[in-house]
Structure formats: structure tokens, C-alpha cells
């Protein structure tokens, strides 16, 4: 999960707008940030580990000049945590291309061998995004051999088409091409989100923007045109004209976890309101809770993303809603904190209880999802320490049982508390008095109701069905990767995750 943004401005430097837009996407990644701008002659770049506000300052507005630019906030799911792996990435030929990418490539080893072997390219990082960039560059170069260099837009579209024939996995991409403009494209399944927006400009042409979520448009005065179609490439040339090309046959199958946790509630993804989806998730969850006939004094959300669900559950059940957990807003989201031990330690920094809402009460905690289980387990313990008689837990999403290989940091089965366990076993591990999970059919309904034209969603982390097709060898390589091994090392003795031997 990363956030990507690109802006083409006809009349002014884009650094300030990209900075503001990335702030709106900061929830999608806190590990690293990067911006590159194009003056029409030179690229200007800055990237480093850290959040947007820490990486960039007022001086950068003087150096990162140019009317076209792209930006990235990183949350690593492939590669190392090194600052060298921060995006954007660059290749100097053909043309000179900078790239930002959200998603994850699943045939990386095969493509790495071709890039470094057949095409004799040198890769500076372990990032799958750099592989994607080099495959694109190779294919654009192949198109130039056939078409010549008189029509660079045609060459770029042809290169994207050939690249899509080679690359597997999830990818929403924005590139900046020297002398040509800004090129964006989305994988044929549309797994990760990407939208395009427009703003009237003085003189000929218009201003355009691409972003992972449309909340990055509003702050800069752009009006969303639409979502980029699966398999589509869109190029905004340097004169402010928009060109579109269907590079591959597409069928929209977006990641349903975007609506559960990843996206902001004020975003619209593929015609679906994230907020309204979460309200509908609350409707269906409330029916389950009513059937259990539990004695519940109050419903308390785990802030912030569970609030819409919890409010609707309270409305539907008639049980009072209370804020019992106070969030320290100066601590990042624990789910995207690198390292298991750091995630666990940060829970106490992140949340504190209002004891009056727990003492001698039966409370129902509602969380958006339970992935590794460490955060909610610690919260249950905190509620008991605050005097709660009984602590029930409800998850707005189904049990997360399988690796997500499309750009979310849940890559291995042994990290997931629900993998290989029955609900009662999970409840005992969490230490709560009752545990309720959303049904998958109900979650799909909640999202699909927003856009009935979507036939299916990627639900692979819940049902283990990978829409692009994933080999057992690839999943095994994730289980045995160096980065995953580091996470296992960070896990406390007797922690919530099954042992590595449970794979297979």
C-alpha cells in the first residue's frame, strides 16, 4: 500500500500542490516520501525516509521547480526499508522516465532475470517497482525500433501494452517522461485504485492530476473526471492535452480491503463511497450482534477507521455509543509500523482508556479488521485494566486468513492470527469474552451496493483466491524472505502468530 500523485499545471510550479496532495495521502504510507518535478529540460528530485512534513521544507519549493511533477508516500511490501528504495525511480533511456508505483508485482524473480540477463540492465534496489520501470523502458525501446521516434506517445502506449503482457500482479502507476508528459496506467484487474482529475487553466489546455484517492484532488481545486479503467493508459502531454489508450483487456476487480481499512472514508473508489460502504458494514454486523443476545452496556470503536461501522451498529441495535479509547494523533498507524515489536510497543503510545467508560461495564469493541491480532489483544487487556466486566470484540471484516500479495503488508500465513484457527481459538488468544466477525458475503454486498456494475472484488486475504493466479513457489518465497524472517524474530515468545511450520 502506497500513495501516488501526479500533477500537470499549465501556468505554475507544482511542488506546493504535490506536497499538499501527498499530505492527504499520508495514511497510505509513512515510511518514505518522494517528489520529482520537470522543468521542461531537467528533472528535480528529493526523496528520503520519513513523512511528507519531515522530508520536505520551504527551501524545496525553490529547488523543485517545474510545471509537471509526481509524488509518492511509501509503505514497503517488497524490498528493504532502505532510503535507497524510496520512490520515484528513474531510468535515463529511452527519453528519461521517472515512475511511482502502488501495488506489488508477483512475477518479480522471472522479470528480474530477464531485465538483468537478456537486457543487461543494472538494478540498484530490490524493489519490484524498479523492475516494473525497467520492463516498461525495455518495451518502449522495442516500440521505438519499430515505429521510429517521430511519435513518442504512440511508442509509450505500445510500450505499456507490451509491458502488461509481461508483468503480473497489482500496479497503479504514474510516470513522467522527458519531452513528452505525464503517463499513468492501471493493471488489467484494477486491483489498486487510481483516478484522474481536471482543472480549467488559463490559455490553451487544462491542468490534470492523477491520484490513488480523490481526496488529493479537492485540496488543489481539481474536479475528478473518473477512475482510470483496468488496463488503460492515459497520457497528459506537455501542452495539457489528454490522450487515452486501452493497453489490455480489463475487468475491474478492486481490492475490497481498501474499503475496510486502507482508504480514507471521504474517498470515492471506483464509484463506491468508502464511508457508505462502512455504514453498510455496520448494518450487517449489527444483525449478527443482535442474534447473539449479549448483555452490552456500550459500543466503543477502536479509533479511527472503525467509527462509521460502530456508529451504525449502535444505531441499528439501540445500544449506546461511547468513545472510550482516546487516540494520540502524533503516533502513526500501528498496522504500517515496520517491525512487529515496534507495532506492539506503539499501541500503548497510541491509545489510552477513559476509565469511566469501562469500569463495571460490559463493552463491545468494534475494530475495522484483525490482522495479526497484536493491537486488539493489547486493547482488550487495557479495557480489563480499566475495570471492564466483560469485553466483547467485533471485526467489521471477515477473518484475515491468507497472504495479501497485491501491495498490503500481510504477506505470510504465519503472521495472521486467523490462519489455521477456529473463531473460538482466536477468541481465547485475544482474551475477549466473545468474538464476532463480518461474513464475507455481507462485506461484498456492502461494497457492491455502491457500484452494482462491479461483478467481483479481490478478497484474497479472506478467501485465498488470487485473481491473477499465484504459484505455490511464490507464496513459499514470501514465507522464507529475509524481511519476513526479521518480523518473526521481532515476535514475542508465545505470540499470536502460528509457527512457520504451519505453512502449506
Q: Which of 2, 432, 459, 461 is catalytic?
A: 2
| Contact (Cβ atoms closer than 8 angstroms) between residue 75 and residue 2 | yes
Dihedral-angle region of residue 252 (phi above 0 means left; psi in -120 to 50 means alpha; beta otherwise):
beta
| Contact (Cβ atoms closer than 8 angstroms) between residue 240 and residue 204 | yes
CA distances for 38 relative to 98, 133, 293, angstroms: 10, 18, 61
CB atoms within 10 A of CB 476: 13
Q: For this structure, is 2 an active site residue?
A: yes
Alpha-carbon gap, residue 311 to 285, rounded angstroms: 11
Question: C-alpha 497: how far from its chain's center?
Answer: 23
SS (H, E, C) 330-383: CCCCHHHCCCHHHHHHHHHHHEEECHHHCCCCEEEEEECCCCCCHHHHHHHHHH
DSSP assignments along 57-109, one per residue: -TTHHHHS--SEEEEEEE--SSS-S-GGGPSPEEE-SSS-EEEEEEEEES-HH
Alpha-carbon gap, residue 135 to 130, rounded angstroms: 9
Alpha-carbon gap, residue 316 to 322, rounded angstroms: 15
- Looking at the annotation, which residues are catalytic? 2
Amino acid at each position: 500500500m502506497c500513495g501516488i500523485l501526479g500533477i500537470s499545471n499549465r501556468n505554475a510550479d507544482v511542488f506546493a500542490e504535490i506536497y499538499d496532495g501527498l499530505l492527504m495521502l499520508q495514511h497510505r504510507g509513512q515510511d518514505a516520501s518522494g517528489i520529482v518535478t520537470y522543468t521542461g529540460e531537467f528533472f528535480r528530485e528529493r526523496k528520503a525516509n520519513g513523512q511528507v512534513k519531515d522530508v520536505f521544507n520551504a527551501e524545496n519549493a525553490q529547488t523543485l521547480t517545474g510545471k509537471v511533477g509526481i509524488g509518492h508516500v511509501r509503505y514497503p511490501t517488497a524490498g528493504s526499508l532502505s532510503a535507497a528504495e524510496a520512490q520515484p525511480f528513474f531510468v535515463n533511456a529511452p527519453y528519461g522516465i521517472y515512475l511511482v508505483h502502488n501495488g506489488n508485482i508477483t512475477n518479480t524473480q522471472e522479470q528480474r532475470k530477464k531485465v538483468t540477463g537478456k537486457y543487461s540492465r543494472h538494478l540498484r534496489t530490490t524493489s519490484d517497482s524498479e523492475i516494473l520501470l525497467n520492463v516498461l523502458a525495455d518495451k518502449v525501446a522495442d516500440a521505438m525500433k519499430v515505429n521510429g521516434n517521430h511519435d513518442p506517445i504512440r511508442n509509450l502506449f505500445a510500450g505499456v501494452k507490451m509491458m502488461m503482457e509481461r508483468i503480473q500482479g497489482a500496479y497503479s502507476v504514474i510516470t513522467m517522461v522527458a519531452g513528452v508528459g505525464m503517463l499513468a496506467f492501471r493493471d488489467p484487474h484494477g486491483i489498486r485504485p487510481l483516478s484522474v482529475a481536471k482543472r480549467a487553466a488559463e490559455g490553451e489546455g487544462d491542468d490534470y492530476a492523477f491520484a490513488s484517492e480523490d481526496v488529493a484532488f479537492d485540496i488543489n481545486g481539481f474536479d475528478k473526471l473518473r477512475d482510470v479503467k483496468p488496463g488503460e493508459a492515459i497520457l497528459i502531454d506537455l501542452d495539457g492535452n489528454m490522450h487515452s489508450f486501452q493497453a489490455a483487456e480489463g475487468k475491474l476487480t478492486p481490492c475490497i480491503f481498501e474499503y475496510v481499512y486502507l482508504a480514507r472514508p471521504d474517498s470515492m473508489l471506483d464509484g463506491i463511497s468508502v464511508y457508505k460502504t462502512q455504514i453498510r458494514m455496520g448494518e450487517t454486523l449489527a444483525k449478527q450482534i443482535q442474534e447473539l443476545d449479549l448483555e452490552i452496556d456500550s459500543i466503543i470503536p477502536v479509533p479511527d477507521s472503525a467509527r462509521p461501522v460502530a456508529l451504525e451498529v449502535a444505531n441499528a441495535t439501540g445500544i449506546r455509543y461511547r468513545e472510550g479509547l482516546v487516540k494520540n494523533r502524533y503516533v502513526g498507524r500501528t498496522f504500517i509500523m515496520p517491525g512487529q515489536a515496534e507495532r506492539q510497543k506503539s499501541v500503548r503510545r497510541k491509545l489510552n482508556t477513559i476509565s469511566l467508560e469501562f469500569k463495571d461495564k460490559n463493552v463491545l469493541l468494534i475494530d475495522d479488521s484483525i490482522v495479526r491480532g497484536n493491537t486488539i489483544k493489547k486493547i482488550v487487556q487495557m479495557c480489563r485494566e480499566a475495570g471492564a466486566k466483560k469485553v466483547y470484540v467485533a471485526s467489521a471484516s471477515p477473518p484475515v486468513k491468507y497472504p495479501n500479495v497485491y501491495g498490503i503488508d500481510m504477506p505470510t500465513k504465519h503472521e495472521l492470527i486467523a490462519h489455521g484457527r477456529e473463531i473460538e481459538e482466536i477468541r481465547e488468544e485475544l482474551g475477549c469474552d466473545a468474538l464476532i466477525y463480518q461474513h464475507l458475503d455481507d462485506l461484498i454486498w456492502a461494497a457492491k451496493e455502491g457500484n452494482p456494475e462491479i461483478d467481483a472484488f479481490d478478497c484474497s486475504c479472506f478467501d485465498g483466491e488470487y485473481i491473477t493466479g499465484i504459484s505455490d513457489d511464490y507464496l513459499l518465497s514470501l514465507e522464507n524472505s529475509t524481511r519476513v524472517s526479521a518480523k518473526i524474530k521481532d515476535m514475542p515468545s508465545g505470540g499470536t502468530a502460528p509457527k512457520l511450520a504451519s505453512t502449506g
